[in-house]
Structures are given as structure tokens and as C-alpha cells.
Amino acid sequence: MLLALALLALLSAVLINGMSGFFQSKEARPDDNFWQAVTSARMQALEHEQIVSLQFNQEEKQLVWSSVDSRGTIAMPAQELHFLTPEKSATKLLGGVRIESDTLPRVRFYPDGTCDAFRVEIITDDKRRSILQIDQWTCAPVLVSTPQ
């Protein structure tokens, strides 16, 4: 009986220790917040049958989507976010970093579920850059195969 109680206590201690991190909120990632804003803007366009614009407010670090009737925001834990043209075009070299100069002020989501063709560049506070290409028909990321 004592052995069973000891094993039960050991098992519960291991489970409690292992589960402690499960219930803690994880830190918001910029790409998760971006996809949440894209989904919200697209759903608003579909539900209200209106064109919805999505743009990044640099001062307040927020993604803002708006239509004629409504508006929504989501905090963006990124230093910078740029909407880029679908294809690489003019670039500049500033301080050893290649920067694309053709940016879009906003992207639009349409009532048929499509969006403007665009890419997004997310620059985090620790200067990591990621560029995602967005499919204009599904508003989902385009999967790029890596060269072998």
C-alpha cells in the first residue's frame, strides 16, 4: 500500500512539473499575429461583402483592417512590417542590408475571398527578417521549395 502511494505521489509530482508550462501563455510571435489579422480581414470581407484594407500602423505597432462599416486592430510585436509587391523589384543596399524599395501602403481583401497579390516582410526587434509570399486566390502562404 505504501509503495502504491509513493508511486502515485511520484507520478503526480512529475505530471504537475511537466504541465506547469502548458497553462502559461506563450509569447506572441509576429507571424502568428500577422496571420490572425489576415484571417480577420478576410472573414470581414466575406461576411460583410465589402472590400477590407489591411495596413500596418508603424507608430502604434498595430495591424489595422478597415472597411466602410467597421475597423479592427491587433498588436504586432515586430519592429517593422512592410507589404511588398508580388515579385522582387527595385532593391537598395543600406548598411549592408538589402532593402526592397517597392512597398505597398496597404493590401485589400475582396468579398469573393481573394486578396491582392503581395509579399510581407516582418522584421523583429532582434533584427530577424522573414518574407512570406501570399497567394492572391486563397490568402494563404505560398510554399516555396528549397533547392537541392
Q: What is the pLDDT of residues 101-147, one digit of tens each?
A: 678 889 999 999 999 989 888 888 888 888 888 888 988 888 765 55
114, with CB counted inside 10 A (0-12, 13-18, 19+), is middle
> Alpha-carbon distance 41 to 122, whole Å?
18
Q: What secondary structure letter does DSSP report for 72? A: E
β-pair partners for 115: 109
30-134 CATH pick, 1.25.40, 3.30.1370, 3.30.70, 3.55.40: 3.55.40
Quickly state the pLDDT bin for 98 (edges 50, 70, 90).
Answer: low
Taking only the tens place, the pLDDT of each residue in 11-61 is: 888 887 777 666 665 666 778 888 889 999 999 999 999 999 999 988 888
| Residue boundaries of the structural domains of the chain | 30-134
pTM for the structure as a whole: 0.70
